[in-house]
Structure 1
Amino acid sequence: METPHVAVIIVSYNGLPIVQQCLPTVAQTKWENLQIVFVDNHSSDDSVGWVREHFPNIQILSNPDNWLFSRANNEAIRQTECDYVALLNNDVAVSDDWLEPLVKRAESSSRIAVLQPKILQFHRRSHFEYAGASGGFLDQLGYPLARGRIFEHTEEDVGQYDTSIGIDWASGAAMLLRRSALDDVGLLDEFFELHMEEIDLCWRLRRAGYKIEVVPESKVFHIGGATLSRTSHRKLYYNIRNNILMLYKNLPPVQFRAVFFQRVILDYSIGLAWLLTGKWRQSLAVLRGYLDAHKMKHHYSPPINAAALPSYRGRILLDYLLLRHRHFSDLPIKRLKNTPSSGNIQ
């Protein structure tokens, strides 16, 4: 049987120091039929020259401008012919055997469209990393959470989330995608530009009947914050805007209106709190995110049916603030719906 062809795509913009740190680990990946594509978003730091000199076997795509995450990845995907596409952030380091468990699981069922490895912190490898941890979920209001990370709190990895289970979303920092599934539902939403685009893609795939899973046997290590820091008001703007657009795209109108009403109350309350504490940039980012989401809604048609709703049927913001839940395992198991697992949320 022929080994599946995997194309690993890494998008970078003025990230030479982290590319020098992480790309050599990707180049050591043990996989027979492997293509590595380095996509440069018009950097000015000679990233392309360094990659060309040190890794002549890596394919380089140089974009004429900074196409950001969605468009740059999409263009690279369109230029590859493969069975699977692996998206890696340029600040992700991998072990040499990270890919095999993902492909092995993908090959077990044609309905599995996306697989995520366990994502640990690069500088503190005993702890889960913010971007995906051990598999992502959405609560009923569309707020993301993950096994090993709730909002800013990341857990120590002691094997508590080593079960492979179905999830709502996989992190764009490190994910394996079935190419035929992308041909079926489309690529990353280029209107999103940055942030939430992988969650939206996973939701669209789930609505089409595909599965998203995490395979903790595979591990990668993420530096994080290479594009925008987690405290950046610009990052907050994209997260708010794109999250509201994602809900509009994937929830039937009646459910969207119910969720939107609750989100306005919660998000604007947080924005007001930021304003009262002098964080006016963050407060303005919330307002701009909502206004721009409203302006962009005309690009989309909401779905008719309610297939593939978020799996966590609670409100994670209230769980976090009022009940002080900091660990995924603290959450009530009865609230986790629609996701195949071994019978628990761990």
Structure 2
Amino acid sequence: MQLSVVILNYNVSHFLQLCISSVLAATKDIDAEIIVVDNKSSDDSCAMVKSVFPGVKLIENQENWGFSKGNNIGVAEAKGDYFCILNPDTVVAEDIFVRLLNFVTSKQNIGIVGCQLIDGKGEFLPESKRNVPTAKIAFQKMIGYAENYYNLALDKDDCGKTDVLVGAFMVIKREVYNKVGGFDEDYFMYGEDIDLSFKMLKAGYNNYYFGEVTIIHFKGESTLKDKVYARRFYEAMEIFYKKHFKKNVMFSALVRMSTKLASKKGRTVPEINENNTLNAILVSSTIPKALQGVLELPCFLESSFPDDIENTLVILDADYLNYKTIIDYIKSNSASKSNSFRILPKNSTFILGSDSSVGRGQVLHF
């Protein structure tokens, strides 16, 4: 088998449904399998997978084991020569795995391959390609100067070597993953992608950023970016430094201080109406009457993408458009700050999306 796609899920049933639907389209012509590992969700995630995607392998953990152990459980069941670690709050294009498999098999001594990530508004996510967070770089990030934390030497559309890739999307050869010991289970959540990337570098492998392909990462759907996130992130950084760098008493003290300060801060997330949304446009062949009834906005039907719009909710029907087209449209319209985007997944009665990379996404049933 060429590829195993491992999706670790926790309480994001609707986003998981969209994700699996896009992965099925992207693996249609590949010898591949999809493995969903559920970390004891309390929503209907497991029931949804069994009902909607009976061909997907589902592993139901009886405890929330966190990111590292959850993914390691999935990889242990994987049969593919390569596998993709994929977040459930993502959407992939139909050609992504064919292109990435061609890329990884053309390179020698390859570790992890990542791609370009955008959020639900089409904005590029700079954590798609990062540098190793040395003590100096991490301290700069803590005080609000993050330029050296990200790999700015590579343009977002470029392809090339980078130190650190993001755990929301990683393509790895199973043999290489096993050689470096996989994800370190000392990390519950956050920091494990930095750790695995760095272990690859220490073992002599090269990590690559492949910016020619793009996925949507709604980012925040399964892990709200709040004070809990801040505390866990800095705690993960402390684990990373203890494992890989000489003990630095001053830096450890700074990490603890940053953890305390960050844990007191919260973030506000805008709702659609805060963007002064005036109407909705559905790019499809027909408007479901039930959708029109719950939108609370005038809804207009378009057979092609609308131009020169402002303050508009653009709904993209995945039964009418392919996922690559949807991703490309959202990406190309990222400059339109006043517009919002929602996706109507195939064979579903809800729309979803996110207007902020730091908050929970929105799901509207009809």
Q: TM-score, normalised by structure 2?
A: 0.64
State how far apart, in whole Å, the 2-side matches of 1:96 and 1:150 are.
Answer: 37
**CA distances 1:257-312 after superposition (whole Å, capped 9, x unpaired):** 3xx524634763x568x4xxxx77359xxxxxxxxxxxxxxxxxxxxxxxxxxxxx
**CA distances 1:13-33 after superposition (whole Å, capped 9, x unpaired):** 111121233321111114411
Contact 2:234 2:259 in 1 (8 A): no
1:25–1:144 CA distance, 2 compared to 1 (3 A):
farther
**Paired residue for 1:26, among 23, 26, 39?**
23
Q: CA deviation at 1:47?
A: 1.2
Q: CA deviation at 1:136?
A: 1.7
1:234–1:56 CA distance, 2 compared to 1 (3 A):
same
Of stretches 192-201 and 242-251 in structure 1, the one that deviates more from structure 2 is: 242-251
1:145–1:119 CA distance, 2 compared to 1 (3 A):
farther
Contact 1:92 1:221 in 2 (8 A): yes
Q: Where does residue 76 of structure 2 map in the other structure?
A: 78
State how far apart, in whole Å, the 2-side matches of 1:187 and 1:118 are.
Answer: 23
Letter in 2 for 1:281: K
1:144–1:92 CA distance, 2 compared to 1 (3 A):
farther
1:190–1:120 CA distance, 2 compared to 1 (3 A):
same
The 3-state SS of whatever aligns with 1:234 is helix
Runs of 4+ in 1 over 4 A off after TM superposition: 149-152
Structure whose alpha-carbon radius of gyration is higher? 2
Q: Where does residue 334 of structure 2 map in the other structure?
A: none
Gaps of 5+ in 1: 284-346
State how far apart, in whole Å, the 2-side matches of 1:160 and 1:61 are.
Answer: 38
**CA RMSD, aligned part only?**
2.8
Q: Where does residue 281 of structure 1 map in the other structure?
A: 264
Letter in 2 for 1:264: A
Contact 1:39 1:60 in 2 (8 A): yes
Contact 2:37 2:59 in 1 (8 A): yes
State how far apart, in whole Å, the 2-side matches of 1:150 and 1:32 are.
Answer: 43
Q: CA deviation at 1:174?
A: 0.7
Aligned residues: 257
1:144–1:27 CA distance, 2 compared to 1 (3 A):
farther
**Paired residue for 1:216, among 188, 211, 216?**
211
Gaps of 5+ in 2: 267-366
Q: Where does residue 62 of structure 2 map in the other structure?
A: 64
Percent of aligned pairs with the same residue?
23
Q: In the TM superposition, what are the counterparts of 1:34-183 in structure 2 within 5 Å?
A: 34-121=32-119, 123-125=120-122, 127-129=123-125, 132-133=127-128, 135-141=129-135, 143=138, 151=146, 160-183=155-178
Letter in 1 for 2:125: E
State how far apart, in whole Å, the 2-side matches of 1:266 and 1:42 are.
Answer: 31
Q: CA deviation at 1:69?
A: 1.1
